[in-house]
Amino acid sequence: MKLGEAEKYISKQLETYYDESEASNIADLLIENISSLSKSDRLAQKEQLLSSSQLNKLNDYIQRLLQYEPVQYILNEAHFYKMKLYVDKNVLIPRPETEELVEWIINDVRASGKDVFQKAATDADATTQLKILDVGTGSGCIALALKKKMPKAEVWGCDISDKALTVARRNGSELDIRVDFQSADYLDSAQQKHLPTVDIVVSNPPYVPLKDKAQMQPNVLQYEPHTALFVDDSDPLLFYKAIVNFGKHRLYKNGVVYMEIHENLGNDVKTLFQNDGYIVEVRKDMQGKERMVKASLAHPDLAGGNPT
């Protein structure tokens, strides 16, 4: 099979499982991975024959795709906020909608006038500017994107999964972005005490009720980690309650919480935070769904705190 024929071959194999646009995008990713050539180079070398090992790899990839395995797990890579991240089945695949939450934070910090967007001269310089904690960091995508954009900020990420933290630390190392990734069960108030006091908490926590499993796509349900997706039907706001409590005790003055939420729970999350004195804003994502929340709570500076 020639290189120029391979993408059409892949798209044809996938046409009953994926729409035309998605099949084409997947084909492009697979051929780039197999050939190690850019799109322009592939066009120039379209008559080149694939080797037997390349063909075997291609057919293996296709069979896995036909079992609904996400292409990001097959290739062990995902793109987020102009970063190429390593991903595997221990972490959720970063979504484009989550980039909107990152952008919201960056825009708010920029509007505040904080001097965090230039590279810090020293590590000590970084710690005096802005402190951010990413709860349930997974692949580290949010924490790494924020640190990349705001080098003078000090950024932590925490997760209950040691395997997820291994992925996050690998990404930080490969991207040469310094984020402190820590193991913590955020629902355990005793373990929360070991996390830093910060100006910003950001989280994309588990929020899908178990009853919604039947409505989910097989590529998500069969492959992405359930501990990062689901909460018990009896307490869908479990993680948000923990964030409310953490924020009241561990946010500096004028600190802010940014979260992703279930599209049907916007009012419930808003009421939860408002009942504890937060000022809350709910935003729609690029799909027009209420999926993002910002909650602010001003309180006196903590001892040794960082006025913001």
Residue among 142, 167, 161, 155 nearest 73 (CA): 167
Calculate Rg over the CA atoms of the chain.
21
This prediction's pTM: 0.92
| DSSP 8-class letter at 186 | T
pLDDT for position 297: 79
pLDDT for position 298: 61
Domain boundaries, the chain: 3-67, 93-297
Q: Kindly give the confidence (pLDDT) of every residue in the chain, 308 residues in length, as a single tens digit, with 9 standing for 90 and above.
A: 998 899 889 989 998 888 888 888 999 999 999 999 988 888 899 899 999 999 999 999 999 999 999 999 999 999 999 999 999 999 999 999 999 999 999 999 999 999 999 887 777 776 678 999 999 999 999 999 999 999 999 999 999 999 999 999 999 999 999 999 999 999 998 999 999 999 999 999 999 989 988 888 888 999 999 999 999 989 999 999 999 999 988 999 889 999 999 999 999 999 999 999 999 999 999 999 999 999 997 653 333 344 33
Which residue do the tokens 């797990």 mark? 73
CB 144 within 8 A of CB 113: no
pLDDT for position 200: 97
Which residue do the tokens 């955020």 mark? 186
pLDDT for position 4: 86
Annotation: CATH topology of 93-297: Rossmann fold (3.40.50)
